[in-house]
Amino acid sequence: MSEGIISITPAFARVWKRNAQVYLTLWKFNIFPALAEPVLFIFVFGLGIGSYIDEMEGVPYLDFVAPGILAIAAIMQATFECTYGSYFRMRMQNTFEGIISTPISAGEVGMAEIVWGATRGLVTSSLVLLLMVAIGVFDSWTTLLLPLITFLAAFNFAAIGIIVTSRIAQMEYFHFYFAGFVLPAQFLCGTFFPVSRFPDAVQVIAWIIPLTSFVDIMRSLTLDRVSASLAPELLWALGSTLVLTEIAVRSMHRRLVE
Amino acid sequence: MIVEAKSLHKRFRDVVAVESLDFQVQAGECYGLVGPNGAGKTTTMKMVYCLNRPTSGELRVFGLDVNREQRRIKARLGVVPQENNLDPDLSTCRNLQVYARYFGMAKQESLEKCRELLEFMELGDRAGSPIPALSGGMKRRLVIARALVNSPDLLILDEPTTGLDPQVRHLIWDRLLDLKEHGITLILTTHYMEEAQKLCDRVMIMDRSRAVDEGSPVRLIRQHVSPYVLELRADRSLAADIQARFRGLEHQTSGQNLYFYGDSPSEFDDLLSTYPDMERLLRPSSLEDVFLKLTGREIRR
Ligand SMILES: Nc1ncnc2c1ncn2[C@@H]1O[C@H](COP(=O)(O)OP(=O)(O)OP(=O)(O)O)[C@@H](O)[C@H]1O
Ligand SMILES: [Mg+2]
């Protein structure tokens, strides 16, 4: 029997619902703290530092940095949910063991966690988006497409999170993951300034991390610069998400069914 | 046949947990697994409920292969794991409802089932309690209730009564016998031989990842130990003295305890009149004596 994405049935949604149910009972604790970082970014970078920068790539700095902040909000929320959140459910609470003693498979638990992480990323980033629209950052109709991309970006990082979570022996390894990957990715991936400022080698690394593609796609949408040259980026964004999800689902299966 | 295992093996990297296990569980019976810590009981059960994969051998549950039909098998199982794994983020009743949803049950149906099961396990007044507010015995009863949400054909219980007070233990025994009367097959592990003797139609004694013997408690007792046991407490020199004098009686020592075995209480008359003041207990032999005889008295590492 296959253990990858292909074996996933819609039953995974029942686990997603479990997470949503818990989230809704604790929404106050979940929503506001998650907004602190993106709001701070808007003030510090967009309005603060931005007031010293005339233009970046031909637009006001706030317009430039807004998609980056949005993407970071999405991936950070998904990352926290699928690292500490999932690990807690898996190891401290043994919730997953209980779930896979029912017809739900271990792969479906992995999938549910990823989709849930992506959902949380979507919720947080959408609230940030509303805030940005309210202060007049975006005016193009293409803004409506942003949640789709933030959801995908969150999905991508949720999958990476589950890969890490299902492979580590103790929670402390997350320190390496955050310091070595998540934090650098937040700043390297064209979020606050163009990737082209880096030496070639760093640029290659930056483009390998799918976040760079997500941010660039989002920025093209908000600045109305959509063109065919985005195709490879879109392909990488979708392709890497698919591959990472497949790895994550298999990895979770191996972790839970020994 | 509910469960059928043929030369079942399970290895975790370099640890052999289960070796050459053959057993069958019939519909409607209560089948017990007993054995010292680390004997392989939990691993055996986890293979039955598809959380551990057999390294080799054949294992069929409801006639279905555990390597291929996990979903269909698990749909008909109830599982009480060794460690409670209730969902601490959900209340008592919600725990059951969310669990019922994993089986695909509709909301209304699961609400009714949840009420019925909380009553059955005498938790009716605790429906709204958060999990951390429940006592150990309540949590255990809730885990058992949860294992019943899908009306399973086979209920697997890994040490259901460990650490519980006598009242709760008796309640759980009652309920399990109830379930058995309704035709549910039970597989149970326990470290209480009294429990195994009371509940199980057949028992498999495991030690060091293998089956040592299997049969009804009555048969195991009759085959392996004499019907009566005399327990004495004696220090080393006294023990040596007794052993020297009553060489003819079958006996065993364990720490400060001496165990003499006999076919009738009168066989101990001489011994008891020689040492009239000694602390003693004369009793019929039990599954515990069989257990200790077959698995030895030393602690497992
Ligand atoms: N996930 C695992 N990884 C490595 N070794 C394991 C794993 N699970 C069990 N073992 C080993 O397999 C052996 C059997 O363990 P098991 O838990 O089945 O014993 P048990 O009979 O249930 O013991 P207890 O009465 O203490 O619950 C032990 O040596 C144990 O250390
Ligand atoms: Mg065990």
Nearest CA to ligand 1 atom 24: B37
pLDDT in tens, A157-188: 999 999 999 999 999 999 999 999 999 999 99
Asked whether the predicted pLDDT for residue B285 surpasses 50, the reply is yes
What are B142's two structure tokens? 């809730």
Chain A contacts to B (CB-CB under 8 A): 1, 11, 14-15, 17-18, 21-22, 25, 93-95, 97-105, 256-258
- Determine whether the interchain pair A22/B101 forms a contact, defined as Cβ–Cβ distance below 8 Å: no
- Determine whether the interchain pair B85/A98 forms a contact, defined as Cβ–Cβ distance below 8 Å: yes
Instruction: Select from A168, A252, A244 the least CA-distant residue to A208.
Output: A244
- Determine whether the interchain pair B51/A22 forms a contact, defined as Cβ–Cβ distance below 8 Å: no
Instruction: Select from B50, B108, B106 the least CA-distant residue to B79.
Output: B50
CA B108/CA B106 separation, integer angstroms: 6
Q: Calculate how close chain A gets to B124, using CA atoms only, in Å.
A: 22
Asked whether the predicted pLDDT for residue B299 surpasses 70, the reply is no
Residue type, B250: E
Give B-chain residues touching A17 at CB under 8 angstroms: 98, 101
ipTM of the complex: 0.91
| Rounded average pLDDT over B230-248 | 85
Give A-chain residues touching B144 at CB under 8 angstroms: none
Residues with CB under 6 A from ligand 1: A 258; B 12, 15, 17, 35, 37-43, 82
HEC secondary structure over chain A: CCCCHHHCCCCHHHHHHHHHHHHHHCHHHHHHHHHHHHHHHHHHHHHHHHHHCCCECCECHHHHHHHHHHHHHHHHHHHHHHHHHHHHHHHHCCHHHHHCCCCCCHHHHHHHHHHHHHHHHHHHHHHHHHHHHHCCCCCCHHHHHHHHHHHHHHHHHHHHHHHHHCCCCCCCHHHHHHHHHHHHHHHHCCCCCCHHHCCHHHHHHHHHCHHHHHHHHHHHHHCCCCCHHHHHHHHHHHHHHHHHHHHHHHHHHHHHCC
* Residue B291 Cα distances to B60, B105, B212, B214, B215, angstroms: 28, 42, 10, 11, 12
Per-residue confidence (pLDDT) for residue A37, from 0 to 100: 87
Asked whether the predicted pLDDT for residue B297 surpasses 80, the reply is no
- Determine whether the interchain pair A104/B94 forms a contact, defined as Cβ–Cβ distance below 8 Å: no
pLDDT in tens, A26-58: 888 888 888 888 889 888 887 888 889 888 888
Q: Which of B52, B74, B94 sits opposite A103 (nearest CB)?
A: B74
- C-alpha B42 – ligand 1 centre gap (Å): 7
Give B-chain residues touching A254 at CB under 8 angstroms: none
| Rounded average pLDDT over B114-137 | 95
CA B144/CA B130 separation, integer angstroms: 17
Per-residue confidence (pLDDT) for residue B247, from 0 to 100: 82
Per-residue confidence (pLDDT) for residue A11, from 0 to 100: 95
Per-residue confidence (pLDDT) for residue B279, from 0 to 100: 85
pLDDT in tens, B41-59: 999 999 999 999 999 999 9
Answer whether B50 touches A (CB < 8 Å): yes
- Determine whether the interchain pair B79/A258 forms a contact, defined as Cβ–Cβ distance below 8 Å: no
**Single pTM value for the model:** 0.93
Least confident of A64-73, A118-127, B112-121, B269-278: B269-278
Least confident of A61-65, B30-34, B250-254: B250-254
Q: Considering chain B, what is the average pLDDT of its residues?
A: 93
| Rounded average pLDDT over B79-89 | 94
Q: For ligand 2, an ion, list residues with CB under 5 A.
A: B 42, 82
- Determine whether the interchain pair B49/A11 forms a contact, defined as Cβ–Cβ distance below 8 Å: no
Nearest CA to ligand 1 atom 3: B12
Per-residue confidence (pLDDT) for residue B298, from 0 to 100: 64
Q: Which residue has the higher pLDDT, B298 or A107?
A: A107
Give A-chain residues touching B103 at CB under 8 angstroms: 102-103
Answer whether B104 touches A (CB < 8 Å): yes
Q: Which of A21, A94, A103 sits opposite B102 (nearest CB)?
A: A103
Give the chain A residue nearest B85 (alpha carbons). Answer: A94
Asked whether the predicted pLDDT for residue B248 surpasses 70, the reply is yes
pLDDT in tens, B55-71: 999 999 999 999 999 99
Answer whether B89 touches A (CB < 8 Å): yes
Per-residue confidence (pLDDT) for residue B171, from 0 to 100: 95
